Structure 1
Amino acid sequence: MDCIEFKIETTTAAVEAISYFIADTLEGGVEICDPKDAINQDKTQTWYDFIDESLLDADMNTVFVKAYFNKGINIEEYKEKISAELEHIKEFLDVGAAQIIVSEIPEEKWANEWKKYYKTFNITDKIVIKPSWLAYDVAGDEIVIEMDPGMAFGSGTHETTSMCVQLLEKYLKKSNRVLDVGTGSGILGIVAAKLGASVLGVDIDPMSVKVAVENVAINGVADNMAVVQGDLLEVVAEKADIVISNIIADVIIVLAAQVRQVLKPGGVWIASGIIDEKKAAVLKAVEKHGWEVVEVTEKNEWVALAMRDVNA
């Protein structure tokens, strides 16, 4: 169904009050377009992986609240109600320009408008990540991974993911067995499978497992990648040549005492998701548990490690 959009230009201070009025009093849908969200939110979330960086150039002081209603409402009446509420809110908060632009949004545009902010990109020279709705001409020996924005972490451009892929390309040999701990969207396991490995993805979150299984099927690697739900040591029976864990520093510290139980002698443990403030603590923990750090990779505030068991 087509809908009517009221686009209100305002400030961050007034967003909550305006949104509440639209949702509670007018019973409309609300979308908040605040450019500061892009710099304040958790960068490990999936939407951040795919976002077009040009959005970060927006005026940080201007926020748009968009109100959506089914076609057929009295537009002038609703516009007057919103204008009156803005005048009321203005008595307490800075509402900014408070301009209102009304548009009719066709159903097709409504369903697909968000897609324009996502793009195909190279995570390495060889590995390409693309949303499913975009076409791409493969060049040379490129490997294309189809990965849409979703609820599970891991879609490519985030530093932790890209560093893991780079280390995988360096240490992975065809026919290797790979264990992807905290698989999320499955992206790292899918990359490993596309590079010729046999892969098991593990995650404690059932939603992540569901998404990863779907992505494995979409990318045509179901024959050499399986995904299971559960705790690492409870569900993994076969040892791997490479273990990947792109999680968070605190979990990596815990895994330092466990990973050797699922890693073959001489194997490589690739760990990322380490914010630079936690680097020293992670290094101390892995060295305490007998890991030799053979490579450290850093991008912006993130760190990735490649390690071997010195006692193997």
Structure 2
Amino acid sequence: MKWAEISIQTTHEAADMVANIFHDLGSSGVVIEDPELVNSYLRSGRWDYSDIPEEVNTEIVVVKAYLPADEHLDEKLGQFEEEIQQLVSYGVDKGSGITECREVMEEDWASSWKEFFHPIKVGQRIVIKPSWEEYVATDEDLVIELDPGMAFGTGTHHTTAMCCRILEDVVEPGHVIFDVGTGSGILSIAAAKLGAGRVQAVDLDRVAVRVANENVGINKVEDIVQVAHGDLLTGFSGKADIVIANIIADVVIILLADIPARLKDDGIFIASGIITERLSDVTSAMLAQNLIIDKVVEEGGWVAIVARMGGN
């Protein structure tokens, strides 16, 4: 299949908003090339091996998205330009805004970035390992083999890493877990390897659903994790011990209205994908749904929130 790779040079301030615009246009994969994030991981020593040099210019963030190269592409590109200009009218610094578009085949895209993806320990035990690389695991390691394909999520982003570390603390044997917006399936697989009894995962992007199911198979957790196409909590049945939503602030706020009906008494809601500037918006919406905020974790300008149902 042919895809159009659209890239824009922007700022840290605008990167998340640009990614949201791409998502709304139906992008089947968004990549944020943040030099500050790369430098932080190089300095952390979490990568098992890397010959990537540190970035000198950390002010320019490149956001890339992949849209089908079909008859609707020109219309979507025009809409993208309009929405970028709307950000500017709201006072958002878009940076240079230099935009490029090129055609790629899915297999070319899927292989071009593999040289930059190496095994990385994102928690005390959880290790994200590309399916094409070797890694010598210790007895304590929980290794997740991953092939992200066209779906967003290699586990190295702050939001995913924070969620993995939270899951290490809260998952108990037999837990029922709902994963909303599963992407590559990393968090669902992590929950299964940490002892969850059943994990139900959904994503609105059908490409992500396919890739997540493939990763579930690679990690041999098909008996625990079921991945389906779905919108937020629509289609879920029963109540969960833990609901995970690593999405964006606005979608988390929409999702919150359904959380009381889908979370057990004293169940845990983990929300991430939230830039620090939106923390108060999300916490206010949580309190309105009788959720008690246990913990807020911040890393690299992003936050993850751990909350529980109130009343107990």
Using the TM superposition, give the Cα deviation of residue 149 of structure 1 relative to its aligned residue in structure 2, in angstroms. 3.8
Distance change >3 Å, CA 114–CA 189, structure 1 → 2 = closer
Tell me the equivalent position of 1:64.
none
Offset at 1:231?
A: 2.5
- What is the identity, as a one-letter code, of the residue corresponding to 1:290? N
TM-score of the pair, normalised by structure 2: 0.67
Match of 2:287 in 1: 287
Q: 2:124 aligns to what? A: 125
CA-to-partner distance for each residue in 1:38-58, whole Å, 9 max, x for gaps? 979947745759996445526
Gaps of 5+ in 2: 20-29, 40-51, 59-108
Report the alpha carbon displacement of residue 150 of structure 1 after superposing the two structures with TM. 2.5
Q: Does 1:248 align with 2:248?
A: yes
| Equivalent-residue separation in structure 2 for 1:149 and 1:41 (angstroms) | 24
Note the alpha carbon deviations across 1:166-189, whole angstroms, 9 max, x for none.
111111101101100111111100
Q: CA deviation at 1:118?
A: 1.9
Structure-1 separation of matches of 2:54 and 2:13: 11
Superposition RMSD in Å: 3.2
- How far is 1:115 from its partner? 2.8
TM-score (norm 1): 0.67
The aligned counterpart of 1:304 is 304
Equivalent residue for 1:177?
176
CA contact (8 A) 1:248 1:272 kept: yes
Q: 5+ residue gaps in structure 1?
A: 1-30, 61-109
**1:152-207, Cα deviation, whole Å (9 max, x unpaired):** 12221111101111111111101101100111111100000111112010112211
Q: Which moved more, 1:242-251 or 1:207-216?
A: 207-216
Deviation track 1:217-276 (CA, whole Å, cap 9, x = no partner) reads 111111110011122343101211000000000011111211121111111000001101
Matched AA of 2:239: K
Using the alignment, how far apart are the partners of 1:177 and 1:169 within structure 2? 15
Q: Distance in 1 between matches of 2:7 and 2:33?
A: 15
Structure 1 counterpart SS, 2:212: helix
Q: Distance in 1 between matches of 2:231 and 2:57?
A: 45
Contact 2:148–2:211 (CA under 8 A) maintained in structure 1: no
Specify whether residues 275 and 303 from structure 1 end up closer, same or farther in structure 2 by C-alpha distance, changes over 3 A only: same
Do the aligned partners of 2:182 and 2:202 also contact (CA within 8 Å) in 1? yes
The equivalent of 1:215 in structure 2 is 215
Amino acid at match of 2:304: A
Q: Counterpart of 2:149 in structure 1: which amino acid?
A: G
Q: 1:107: which partner in 2?
A: none
- How far apart, in 2, do the equivalents of 1:226 and 1:112 lie? 27
* Contact 2:182 2:201 (C-alpha < 8 Å) held by counterparts: yes
For the residue of structure 2 that corresponds to 1:292, the secondary structure is strand
Aligned to 2:131, the other structure's residue is in SS state coil
Is the 2:294–2:307 contact (alpha carbons within 8 Å) kept by the matching residues of 1? yes
2:137 corresponding residue in structure 1: 138
Q: Provide closer, same or farther for how the CA distance between residues 132 and 39 of structure 1 changes in structure 2, counting only shifts above 3 A.
A: farther
Q: Decide which structure has the larger Cα Rg and report it.
A: 1
The count of aligned residue pairs is 235
What is the identity, as a one-letter code, of the residue corresponding to 1:205? Answer: D
Change (3 A) 1:49 1:205: farther
**Mapped partners of 1:111, 1:274: distance in 2:** 27
Identity %, equivalent residues: 44
> 1:294 is matched by which residue type in structure 2?
D
Amino acid at match of 1:57: E
Q: Which AA in structure 2 matches 1:213?
A: N
Q: What is the match of residue 57 of structure 1?
A: 55
What pairs up with 1:3-152 in 2 under 5 angstroms? 42=15, 45-46=30-31, 48=33, 53=39, 54-57=52-55, 114-152=113-151
Distance, in Å, in 1 between the alignment partners of 2:200 and 2:171 is 15
